[in-house]
A and B are shown apart, each in its own frame.
Chain A
Amino acid sequence: MAKLTTFSIGGVHPDDSKIARGCAIEVLPLPSTVYISMAQHLGAPAKPVVAVGDKVKTGTVIAEPGGFISAFVHSSVSGTVKSIGPRKDIAGNPVTHVEITVEGDEWEESIDRSDTLVTAIPEDRAAILDRIKACGVVGLGGATFPTHVKLNPAPGSKAECLILNGAECEPYLTSDYRIMLERSREIVVGAAIMQAVLGGCRCVIGIEENKPEAIAAMDAAVLSLGYPGIEVLPLKKKYPQGGEKQLIDAVMHRQVGSGALPISVGAVVQNVATALAVYEAVQKNKPLITNTLTVTGDCLPVERQHNYLFRIGMPLSFIAEQAGGVPEAAAKLVSGGPMMGKAIANLDATTVKGSSSILYLSEAATKRGKESYCIRCGRCADACPMGLEPFLLRRLYVAGDLEGLEKEAVQDCIECGCCLYSCPAYIPLLDQIRMAKGQVMGVIRARAAAAKAAAEAAKAAKQ
């Protein structure tokens, strides 16, 4: 077997703990009420277009984009709008939600709910993009960046390679794995659609070697559908392979410059779940109202682990109850993977488009050791997939040296957590680097704004 490829700098090897890999995707029953967040994508929050008392169907638009980088939001159930107002998200911060009381399950007639695989790809590129936008598709790999924006690169830039991210490098998570097994053909059609939108570039589906069944299923789907220029590329298991910049390095052996977009090296990266959403949007006219989520954890018996197809807007607590409640031994609840996910401060918070898991971690799995002193072992620098030196960034942060931090590229940090994961002294490296990054990004933005203002003033003076 040929040597597997992976990204070239840093990375760590946490145990993959894919305990829920054998659990087929189950459809959850409907709750009595759903709460649909207006801020479930990167960019400006969506603006509600429904009023209290309105009747909505499954798939009805309930909010429109609030800016260029924003997305449509649809009702995931049929029923009546009960309220529109602030509600706490998983961190406990108030966000505008549309509360809908569920009545039956009546879908918009325009949505094709059949299982028939539609393989013919529409000709009109603009129409495809419109459909993706109208269906509220956002990136489901974590960042929830509006997909229609990403698939429409600025004039002058050309996509050479569409990379489909099937790495699922986070431990525990198995939702991408399950859809690659169960929905492989739809994902490949979705990839072919995005290929067409991008003007016929090649497409590489990157999957880590610890998912051989997914590699085989995707390979078979690619072969049977016969779209040109799509291949499956097994990757060596290493975290954070699914990071956009790392995946581009692994697949294309190119590195994206600091502050630049992937398209600058000819790459567009989309998650496999996003490809599925694109398929459903373009071929079935189905908005992004469902997604797959894993209920898992080290303190949850395997028979209580699930991969669920959920309606967006179902409260996390409802899903947790469906899976038998929060296990007694859980010390920490996480939404997302154990490396980059967010701790759940409020289980009553609702699911959003990008929800990927409810992860129950035991105290033994999640406990941070007592912080001690740096022994200069260099493990953080070895682990950093951006080639940064976390120990140094932390020292500069403590010293308040913003200039030094910028020179040492703190703004390039992708917050993957490898540094703190590796630190034998349990120094809160990422916690401090994240704050340093925030400060330096502020300085960079202020400088850019000042430069822009100066340029405009000069232009005005000339006229």
Chain B
Amino acid sequence: MDKHLVSPNPHIHAAVSTESLMRDVIIALLPAIIVSVLFYGWGELLILAVSALSCVLFEWAIAKFLFKDTALFCCPAALVTGLLLAMNLPVSTPWWIVVLGALFAIGVVKMSFGGIGQNVFNPAIAARVFLLVSFPQQMTHWTAPAGFIHSVDAFSGATLLGQVPVLGALEADKLVSLQTLLYNIGGSAGEISALALLVGWAYLLIRRVIKPWITLSIFATVAVVAGIFHLADPTLYTGPLFNLLTGGVILGACFMATDYVTSPMSTWGGVIYGVGIGFLLMMIRYFGSYPEGVSFAILLMNMTVPLLNRWFHGKKYGRA
């Protein structure tokens, strides 16, 4: 009898681990990553590799040598941060800026708060914003794609969102078509294909890695806010479709705002959080000095998560 285990129930497990969940996120990111490499070529692959490897290395080193607790090192989680950071950068970003971003994401945003599960802000987004304010020139330098697929209408210099002040809302709106859903050159490499991102999101939903409410509430809020402003004055304000398909809304809503650690645990908390992100990002886009507001909106709403967790709870059985 000595060789048999004796421990309390439950005696079986769903066989889902932090590692397997993070692996699923990596798989979900693959379609968008493949599209970005196809359009931007080896340069994009290099950025992805540098970012992912530095995140893994920094997390491992900090866990091992500073915390002396390797349980804090979760390789697939660090990879997710690295990939998301790379996907949020322009392809022309110098490698040392990428490494600096990775160090900020892992070292400052994640590990200094206590490591996995403890960070207040989404590491990849916080690092992107850190790089944006530190290296504004490099971070908004959008180059024409030099990848394996050559797009005739590829242009250099500005993103669709960046075109708005130049062309005006009416003309910018016209730039959005069905093709934008498939691929949309300009901006961060990970944002090229809305369709690829949505395919990855669907994979996460099917695998029950995340629930759809945060993402859907962001989409709905963006559509409603943009719809109202667009109806009020179409010459000043771009419409719902333009705002949903351009910039980082889809990447942010599907993969960044749904980060477990930095989003609310309850369904209603998540919906409020999503509405907040959608509203703030539209305010930044319409009235802010940056053309894009997804990163700032998510970071601002990250700060409300402890409060949302305190206020919103699931319904308890047999209690009013």
Chain A residues engaging chain B, CB cutoff 8 angstroms: 9, 12, 14, 171, 245, 249, 255-258, 260, 330-334, 338-347, 359, 361, 365-366, 368-379, 381-382, 384-389, 391, 409, 412, 415-418, 420-422, 424-426, 430-431, 434
Taking A330-B4, A344-B6, A386-B316 as known contacts, 20 extra A-B pairs with beta carbons closer than 8 A to each other, sorted by chain A number, are: A12-B14, A257-B318, A258-B318, A332-B7, A334-B11, A338-B9, A341-B11, A343-B4, A359-B11, A373-B117, A373-B118, A375-B116, A375-B261, A376-B265, A379-B16, A385-B317, A389-B265, A415-B9, A424-B17, A434-B8
Q: A343-B7, A366-B11 are in contact. Are A409 and B316 (CB under 8 A)?
A: yes
B13 lies within 8 A of chain A by Cβ: yes
Name the residue of chain A whose CB is nearest to the CB of B18: A424
Name the residue of chain B whose CB is nearest to the CB of A378: B265
Q: A376-B261, A389-B265 are in contact. Are A430 and B12 (CB under 8 A)?
A: no
Residues of A within 8 A of B261 (CB): 375-376
> B14 near A14 (CB under 8 angstroms)?
yes
Residues of B within 8 A of A12 (CB): 14
Residues of B within 8 A of A366 (CB): 5, 11-12
Residues of A within 8 A of B154 (CB): none
User: Bound complex: CA of A334 vs CA of B12, how far in Å?
Assistant: 11
Which of B5, B9, B71, B319 has its CB near the most chain A CB atoms (within 10 A)?
Answer: B9
Give A172 Cβ to nearest chain B Cβ, in Å. Answer: 9
User: Bound complex: CA of A376 vs CA of B115, how far in Å?
Assistant: 13
Residues of B within 8 A of A425 (CB): 17-18, 117
Q: A346-B1, A415-B9, A430-B8 are in contact. Are A389 and B116 (CB under 8 A)?
A: no
Partner of B318 from the list A373, A412, A418 (CB cut-off 8 Å) is A412
Give A293 Cβ to nearest chain B Cβ, in Å. Answer: 17
> A340 near B317 (CB under 8 angstroms)?
no
Residues of B within 8 A of A249 (CB): 317
User: Bound complex: CA of A339 vs CA of B11, how far in Å?
Assistant: 6
> B317 near A386 (CB under 8 angstroms)?
yes
Residues of A within 8 A of B10 (CB): 338-340, 416-418, 420-421, 430
Partner of A409 from the list B16, B72, B319 (CB cut-off 8 Å) is B319
Give B284 Cβ to nearest chain A Cβ, in Å. Answer: 27
A-contact bits for B1-37, CB 8 A (1 contact / 0 none): 1001111111111101110110000000000000000
B313 lies within 8 A of chain A by Cβ: yes
Chain B residues engaging chain A, CB cutoff 8 angstroms: 1, 4-14, 16-18, 20-21, 71-72, 74, 77, 115-118, 260-261, 265-266, 313-319
User: Bound complex: CA of A357 vs CA of B113, how far in Å?
Assistant: 47
> B21 near A430 (CB under 8 angstroms)?
no
User: Bound complex: CA of A375 vs CA of B25, how far in Å?
Assistant: 14
Name the residue of chain B whose CB is nearest to the CB of A422: B14
User: Bound complex: CA of A258 vs CA of B316, how far in Å?
Assistant: 10
Q: A373-B115, A375-B116 are in contact. Are A388 and B8 (CB under 8 A)?
A: no
Partner of B314 from the list A14, A260, A368, A389 (CB cut-off 8 Å) is A389
Give B298 Cβ to nearest chain A Cβ, in Å. Answer: 16
Which of A12, A341, A366, A372 has its CB near the most chain B CB atoms (within 10 A)?
Answer: A372
Give A205 Cβ to nearest chain B Cβ, in Å. Answer: 23
> B11 near A374 (CB under 8 angstroms)?
no
In the complex, the 8 A-B pairs of residues with the closest C-beta atoms, listed nearest first: A417-B10, A387-B316, A378-B265, A255-B318, A332-B5, A377-B260, A338-B12, A343-B6
User: Bound complex: CA of A341 vs CA of B8, how far in Å?
Assistant: 8
User: Bound complex: CA of A57 vs CA of B4, how far in Å?
Assistant: 37
Residues of A within 8 A of B315 (CB): 9, 387
